[in-house]
Amino acid sequence: MFPTQYTNKMYLLLLGSSHHSTPIDLRERIDFVRRGIPEALSRLGNIAGIREVVVLSTCNRSEIYTVCEAPDTTNCALRVFMSSFHDVPESELKSHLYSRTDADVAQHLFRVVAGLDSLVVGEPQIVGQVKDAFQVASEHGHTGASLNRLFHCSFAVGKRVRNETGLGEGAVSVSYAAISLARKIFGNLDTLRALVVGTGEMAELTATHLRSQQVRHISVANRTPAHATSLAAKVDGVAVPWAAVAEELTLTDIVVTATGASKWILTRPQIVEAMQPRRDRPLFIIDIGVPRDVEPTVGDVEQVFLYNIDDLQAIVQDNLTKRQSQVNRAELMVREEVNGFMTWLRSRDAIPTVVALRRRFEEVRQAELDRLAPKLASLPPLARSKIEEVTHLLIEKLLSTPTEQLKSARDGHEMTADVNTLERLFKLNSSEQLPNPDEESDDNLDTRNKSPRPSRVKQR
């Protein structure tokens, strides 16, 4: 469990890997889903200095988002954790991991949710994947005010980009990119047969795209027959028994695998055998499973063309070129939203100082009211209540300007300078009885429109 109060300045820290920095074989080995995300969250929560944490694990990325006390120390701890949790030597991981702090964390996550960092720019699946990751962490008690705000802001950014740019129009997923690759090789697909192995989300998307391209015949295979039957019905295809896959390989032109199985479902000997009766008719295989479903040496077999997720980069580049004007608009939106989030985050650093300043002013106010109590005793209750109200409102007005200045600090250095000045001038001790950030709101930094407190003028 995370502490109810933070006693030090908190920082955002991200450690991760993605298709930009890590080859597919290593991405398969550091997939958090294999070992279980709840288990990863539990172990991360026990690392000293980590106060909040979310683990994001998809086909193309494995990332850990944290709120921590000491970024450098926590960064080292996270690298050790990545190695031990996945049983991968640190020496193999080192060059493939990237880290971000504070504003760069927000920038990265906002770009991810906006679809700007995806393998295929603009693909919408990542939004749901990030929401699922955040929900798991939240339900297990691993998030607080900072990550809650960060992730909810990212969802708002993603929605804004989709609504205000053309980036999401015709956005393609990895599965659609796979079909695009098939069209580049075969041209029209309406005379071909296709076999889809798997019935998960990626397999269903691919089968749907095949159907939209008017593929002549679609077969669906899965170890669970009912799942194959269900997907086949959605795409006007035919479910085939798992044991019949070998026979289907001799008949089909396009094979798409997307099972996420832990071992090869198509091996080189199987493909060699399937190619014998085909009489040099080419076989096009797209392996979009992570981990991969097809043994890599299958691509060496004569007349077999094997592609995996990393091979889709050429299509990605084409999309980047076509959408560059929309990407630029989306990037501007991301930067605007990052600035807004960082203003909020910096304002939280000032909460203890603002609370201490309010406490100091209130102490002075109450001390003066207590000193004048004998003289005020003869006043009617309504007049004494008005004095209480006026003095309280006076303090709120006096605090308004320094509070707003703290909220609008341009960067962390300016915030620190302002905080230090206030603490020195008013001899504040903001480390005492720090408020719980999870229970604080922006009201702590807003002295406007406050209703007066109940009267504390002593009755005589």
Q: Within 13 A of 431's CA, how many CA atoms are on the CB side? A: 4
In the annotation, is 153 catalytic? Answer: no
The whole-angstrom separation of Cα 228 and Cα 244 is 13
Q: Is the peptide bond before 454 cis (omega within 30 degrees of 0)?
A: no
DSSP conformational letter for 442: G
Maximal CA-CA distance, the chain: 111
Q: Within 13 A of 2's CA, how many CA atoms are on the CB side? A: 28
The whole-angstrom separation of Cα 58 and Cα 93 is 18
Measure Cα distances from 346 to 111, 236, 416, 443 in Å: 21, 55, 9, 15
The whole-angstrom separation of Cα 147 and Cα 141 is 12
Long-range CB pairs of 45-49 (<8 Å, 24+ gap) are 45/1, 45/2, 45/142, 47/74, 47/77, 47/78, 47/81, 48/77, 49/73, 49/74, 49/77
DSSP annotation string for 160-222: HHHHHSSTTTT---HHHHHHHHHHHHHS--TT-EEEEE--SHHHHHHHHHHHHTT-SEEEEE-
The whole-angstrom separation of Cα 451 and Cα 444 is 14
Which of 126, 153, 148 is closest to 338 using CA atoms?
153
- Cα angle 206, 210, 213 (rounded to 5 degrees) comes to 140
* Backbone phi, psi, residue 21, to 5°: -120, -10
The residue annotated as part of the active site, out of 59, 68, 76, 153, is 59
The H or E element spanning position 257 is strand 254-257
Both tokens of 198, joined, read 């798997």
Both tokens of 232, joined, read 């086949």
Both tokens of 194, joined, read 């296709």
* Backbone phi, psi, residue 307, to 5°: -130, 145
DSSP conformational letter for 122: T
Residues marked active site are found at 59
